[in-house]
Amino acid sequence: MDWLYSLEGWQLALIATTFTWALTAAGALLVFIFKDVSENAFSLMLSSAAGIMLASTFFSLLMPALERAEEFSYLILTCGFVLGGGLIIITDIIINKLHMFSGNEKKRGCAVMCIAVTMHNIPEGLAVGVAFGALAAGQTVEAVAAIMLAVGIGIQNFPEGMCVAFPLRANGMSRCKSFFIGQISGAVEIVAGVIGALAVTAVNGILPWALSFSAGAMIAVVCSELIPESFAQGKIKATIGVILGFSLMMILDIAFG
């Protein structure tokens, strides 16, 4: 992995977020092949992604933030974490207050889903960018942990692409338009990732804040979106998925970190 350390933080973030966007596009691409997706497969993808992202929040974000912070580390991590989680909570409140397409509940539901997925992809892209920016700035984040964070987000982006594309198709939109809107919802991660990496690289002192902020946003996304959605299809298989995802991330971090 020596070549990773030879790249700039924004370049690493660009590569990583392009990967996460590609999986969003891959999920949306299924609209050309299938009419629907198995609920069991959908639940397993979401729950395993939740497990990977929970472990990544600790190994890739909070632990490096703690190592980097010096004085008042408990305040820095707590404030950053709360602010990141608060961003997602405020976003959810705004989305729930939207009154779009009041005459057509199905179209309104599709619109809210598109906005929700797009908005939640911003902190996810930021988290990836911050992790790889930290890797390039001072190697406070292990390469394997940063990569697995991107992998975890990419896995949960796959069903997100389906979540946007399939309802649009079901409401009469063409397959091409459904795919386009589904994949574009993940493109914001690329922009957010590059911005996060540039910010961390340019202003090294904000690294603990940025890492803990991203951690709070990630936990909020997992708790508000992935956990409820996956557990709605069955507690046992969703729990298995979370445990497997978390274990995979933990093993890789300990073995290669």
Tokens (6 digits) for 249: 């991330």
Find the angle CA(77)-CA(82)-CA(87) to the nearest 5 degrees: 130
How far apart CA 132 and CA 4 sit, in angstroms, is 9
**What is the residue-averaged pLDDT of the chain?**
79
Mean pLDDT value of segment 173-190: 88
State pTM to two decimals: 0.67
Residue whose tokens read 């057509």 = 104
Residue whose tokens read 């340019």 = 202
Tokens (6 digits) for 209: 């804040």
Other CB atoms within 10 Å distance of the CB of residue 74: 9
Mean pLDDT value of segment 124-132: 84
101: confidence class by pLDDT, cuts 50, 70, 90? very low
State how many domains the chain has: 1
Q: What does the pLDDT read at residue 9?
A: 82
How far apart CA 189 and CA 204 sit, in angstroms, is 22
Answer yes or no: are the C-beta atoms of 220 and 120 closer than 8 Å. no
How far apart CA 236 and CA 231 sit, in angstroms, is 8
User: For 8-21, what is each residue's pLDDT tens digit?
Assistant: 888 889 999 999 99
The more confidently predicted of residues 205 and 87 is 87
Find the angle CA(14)-CA(19)-CA(24) to the nearest 5 degrees: 120
Tokens (6 digits) for 88: 């997602």
How far apart CA 30 and CA 12 sit, in angstroms, is 28
User: For 25-71, what is each residue's pLDDT tens digit?
Assistant: 998 898 888 766 677 777 787 788 788 778 878 877 788 778 777 77
Q: What does the pLDDT read at residue 190?
A: 93
Above 80 in pLDDT, residue 142? no
Give pairs for 96-105: CB < 8 Å, separation 24+. Answer: none
Q: What does the pLDDT read at residue 111?
A: 63
How far apart CA 157 and CA 37 sit, in angstroms, is 15
Write out the residue range of the structural domain in which residue 155 sits. Answer: 2-256
What three-state secondary structure class fits 8? coil
